[in-house]
């Protein structure tokens, strides 16, 4: 018996340029199933697809032809023969005929990249510029750089944009960006789409990073996964039973703005004493800077630690304790198979990450902590922009199909 899990799909949930109309459910399922098989296999023939899906060669060929027309897969060549001795075309996800563009808006910079549908790109494909001081300047520069990445020889299917802040997914609007206020109330995805005529999807940076880990990284094949990022704020995103958890309005996982100290530091969201002001990399640097009497960067910190001229134990301990509280709460709430955490504090000393895990054990329900794998990852919001584009394209194809055990 087959179990069908369908993501939410709107009228615009289509790959740009594809004349797919409103096919019947079975056609949606076939498209998604065949594309997933090709992506997972790396390369596969029509004959292999026919056998893997249990469909006729005619049905498999029609589905493949449709995916080729949509720009999602491409021919790689001929295999010598299948089991019956006849040559068969081999297909891969599109790498040369189509591309996607990923964008990462960050407090101090903006990055863009053109990538293949398998998420691969080279360092030379990345464009970086400093974050402008106004929204209009930002959009002007984004339009210029995006057009430069779009070439006539390679079809641009979609643009994924990763941003810091609370994103209304339905309206594609940033309600508030505590660490980049020029984005407050703006729709950079929609505004860019109007200019470059390519559909653009806006996601919170932690959602993008989480999707990147699910598609390419540590969470590949993991059905229940939580990611916490602390580079700029406290971001959390979750994959639950194989699907991205967004909530009713796209704000699921905003644990960083749970108030921990009602009379604490003013947060960018307008509240005081949020978890974000206590448990993150900026919170740690702020504590250290208060003691030193001046601001300090991680680069300066690394230099002084290597020289042995500075100790940071007190500030690390205080910040880790709050981070452990937030991470333990995530395990208690979501019951994930894997919890991944990104933090530059882990780079300072070898003992920092194990210390965090130890602190979490005392704050988490034992049956849950015993079954949850806790890992550290680097995380990359630019790859998150790429993953957001790929995720939207794939879920637009049709429902995901799982086999019941």
Spatial separation of the C-alpha atoms in residues 22 and 20, rounded to whole Å? 6
pLDDT score recorded for residue 63: 86
What is the average pLDDT across 351-367?
A: 93
170, 190, 245, 166: which is closest to 11 by C-alpha?
170
104, 128, 98: which is closest to 116 by C-alpha?
98
**CATH number belonging to domain 220-376:** 3.30.420.40
* Phi and psi angles of residue 101, each rounded to the nearest 5 degrees, phi first: -120, 130
**Summary mean pLDDT of the chain:** 87
391, 5, 400: which is closest to 169 by C-alpha?
391
| Residues composing the chain | 405
Q: Is 348 helix (H, G, I), strand (E, B) or coil?
A: coil
pLDDT score recorded for residue 8: 40
Decide if 98-210+383-391 and 220-376 have a common fold.
yes
Grade residue 366 by pLDDT with cuts at 50, 70 and 90: confident
In tens, the pLDDT along 235-285 reads 899 999 988 998 887 788 889 999 999 999 999 888 999 999 999 999 999
Domains of the chain, by residue range, sit at: 2-94, 98-210+383-391, 220-376
- Asked whether the predicted pLDDT for residue 129 surpasses 90, the reply is yes
In tens, the pLDDT along 384-394 reads 999 999 999 98
Is the whole-model pTM more than 0.85?
Answer: no
319-354 core/surface letters (b: 16 or more CB in 10 A; e: else): bbebbbbbbbbbbeebebbbbbbbbbbbbbeeebbe
**CATH number belonging to domain 98-210+383-391:** 3.30.420.40
Top-confidence range, 81-85, 92-96, 318-322: 318-322
**Fold adopted by 2-94:** Arc Repressor Mutant, subunit A (1.10.10)
Spatial separation of the C-alpha atoms in residues 305 and 360, rounded to whole Å? 26
């Amino acid at each position: 018996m087959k179990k069908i899990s369908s993501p939410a799909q709107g009228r615009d949930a289509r790959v740009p340029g594809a004349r797919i109309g409103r096919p019947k459910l079975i056609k949606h399922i076939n498209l998604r199933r065949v594309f997933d098989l090709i992506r997972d296999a790396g390369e596969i023939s029509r004959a292999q697809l026919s056998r893997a899906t249990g469909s006729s060669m005619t049905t498999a060929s029609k589905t493949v032809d449709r995916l080729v027309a949509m720009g999602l897969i491409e021919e790689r060549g001929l295999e010598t023969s299948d089991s019956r001795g006849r040559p068969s075309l081999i297909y891969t996800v599109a790498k040369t005929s189509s591309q996607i563009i990923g964008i990462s808006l960050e407090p101090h910079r903006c990055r863009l990249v053109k990538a293949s549908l398998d998420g691969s790109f080279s360092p030379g494909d990345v464009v970086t510029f400093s974050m402008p001081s106004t929204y209009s300047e930002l959009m002007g520069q984004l339009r210029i750089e995006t057009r430069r990445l779009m070439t006539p020889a390679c079809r641009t299917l979609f643009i994924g944009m990763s941003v810091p802040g609370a994103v209304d997914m339905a309206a594609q609007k940033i309600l508030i960006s505590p660490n980049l206020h020029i984005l407050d109330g703006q729709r950079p995805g929609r505004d860019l789409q109007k200019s470059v005529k390519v559909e653009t999807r806006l996601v919170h940076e932690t959602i993008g990073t989480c999707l990147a880990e699910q598609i390419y990284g540590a969470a590949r094949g993991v059905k229940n996964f939580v990611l916490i990022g602390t580079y700029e704020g406290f971001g959390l995103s979750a994959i639950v039973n194989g699907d991205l958890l967004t909530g009713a309005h796209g704000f699921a996982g905003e644990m960083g703005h749970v108030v921990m100290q009602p009379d604490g530091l003013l947060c960018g969201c307008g509240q005081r004493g949020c978890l974000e002001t206590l448990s993150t990399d900026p919170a740690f640097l702020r504590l250290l800077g208060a003691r030193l009497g001046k601001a300090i960067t991680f680069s300066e910190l690394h230099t002084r630690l290597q020289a042995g001229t500075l100790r940071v134990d007190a500030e690390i301990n205080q910040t880790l304790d709050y981070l452990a509280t937030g991470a333990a709460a995530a395990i208690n709430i979501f019951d994930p198979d894997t919890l991944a955490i990104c933090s530059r504090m882990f780079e300072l000393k070898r003992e920092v990450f194990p210390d965090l895990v130890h602190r979490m054990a005392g704050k988490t329900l034992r049956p849950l902590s015993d079954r949850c794998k806790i890992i550290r990852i680097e995380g990359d919001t630019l790859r998150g922009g790429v993953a957001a584009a790929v995720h939207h394209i794939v879920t637009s194809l049709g429902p995901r199909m799982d086999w019941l055990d």
